Structure 1
Amino acid sequence: MELIKGRPADETGRLEKEIRVYDLLDKLGMEYYRTDHEPATTMEVCNDIDKILDTLICKNLFLCNRQKTNFYMLMMPGDKPFKTKDLSKQINSARLSFADESYMEEFLDITPGSVSIMGLMNDTDNHVQLLMDKEVLEGESLGCHPCINTSSLKLKTKEVMEKFLPAVHHEAVIVELPRYDISE
């Protein structure tokens, strides 16, 4: 695996939704680095990707309320544990759970294992509210998939907040999730 600036030179065999991500990032004038890899389905692969990107790789969780009327994408540091009670209080939504993958595909045009902030470009009706852990904003850059888990991107956090999110008509709600001692 290597880190390459910008989009792939040869886009043969790449999915349309991945190419749309590169098209949007280029249109917005955003700088990004990319690495291609086997599907990121194991922690070993993810750890290798982390080393190549040399940035915070975000864990992205697709959640909903019990009634399945409110949907959320939570971006948080990959090494931070997630407990629904910590988030529920902050967004006034009891009984959060993982949303069905059918909603993920319908709203974000992504499949399990590929959840990424880039999917918000496909959520033109704003069904999904972005929730971002405060720690994500502390890094100069962040890592995410371009809507497919066989590539990973390194983006400047400031550009994601100031260029990407306004372009896709989404705002981040900043939440603060605690870190727990191993003993908890």
Structure 2
Amino acid sequence: MDQLTLVTTTLDQMGIQYQIVSHPAVTTTEAADAYIEGIEGVRTKTMFLTNKKKTAFYLLVMDDAKRLDFHEFKDLTGAKRVKMASSEALKEKLGLEPGVVSIFGLLNNQDRDVQVYFDKAILSEARMSFHPNVNTRTIFVATDDVLAFVKSQGG
């Protein structure tokens, strides 16, 4: 099953409604924003992070216009040092390539060992947008349903 079908089938099985917008392949949130202008939902970026020893992995979801404060995130997680995880770790843990990172990669995380964090500032938004494990689509999902999905995946 391809990645997009995996995402939509899972959401359908969970009874989660979504809206998908097709567009040319994009690798940055800024590029994707041009194709989803005017559609309700916070534009998110999802970062795949790890600790110094690469023994813990994190997905951080935040507004795509915001910059990550690594020190604040380190304090939140209690990790010694937090950095972007390698593309190899991303492929191994979430089955994804750089530029396609999203919460839906949790569907490929057999070990269920990736911790998910959301920036509080976006939790009050009605909907969130993500790549559905492919960079030729953007998917919009209600925030409550996003949280239900993450919980169902052990995040």
The two structures have a TM-score, normalised by structure 2, of: 0.93
Give the C-alpha shift of residue 126 in structure 1.
Answer: 1.4
Q: For structure 1, which runs of at least 5 residues remain unmatched after alignment?
A: 1-14, 171-184
CA spacing shift, 1:52–1:20, aligned 2, 3 Å: farther
Moved over 3 A (4+): none
Q: For 1:80-126, what per-residue CA distance to the aligned partner results, in whole angstroms no more than 9, with x for missing partners? A: 11121121111111211110111111111111000001111111211
For residue 35 of structure 1, what is the aligned residue in structure 2? 21
Alignment map for 1:64-79 (pairs within 5 Å): 64-79=50-65
For residue 150 of structure 1, what is the aligned residue in structure 2? 136
Structure number, greater radius of gyration: 1
Are 1:121 and 2:116 matched, yes or no?
A: no
User: What value does the CA root-mean-square deviation take over the aligned residues?
Assistant: 1.5
For residue 6 of structure 2, what is the aligned residue in structure 1? 20
For the residues of structure 1 that align with 2:120 and 2:83, how far apart are their CA atoms? 21
Three-state SS of the structure 2 residue aligned to 1:51 is: coil
For residue 85 of structure 2, what is the aligned residue in structure 1? 99
Are 1:169 and 2:154 matched, yes or no?
A: yes
**Count of residue pairs the alignment pairs up:** 155
Q: Indicate the percent of aligned positions where both proteins have the same amino acid.
A: 29
CA spacing shift, 1:111–1:63, aligned 2, 3 Å: same
Give the C-alpha shift of residue 45 in structure 1.
Answer: 2.5
CA spacing shift, 1:75–1:43, aligned 2, 3 Å: closer
Give the C-alpha shift of residue 52 in structure 1.
Answer: 4.7
For the residues of structure 2 that align with 1:51 and 1:161, how far apart are their CA atoms? 24
Q: 2:33, 2:43 within 8 Å by CA — same for their partners in 1?
A: no
Three-state SS of the structure 1 residue aligned to 2:5 is: helix
Alignment map for 1:38-77 (pairs within 5 Å): 38-42=24-28, 45-77=31-63
The AA in structure 2 aligned to 1:41 is T
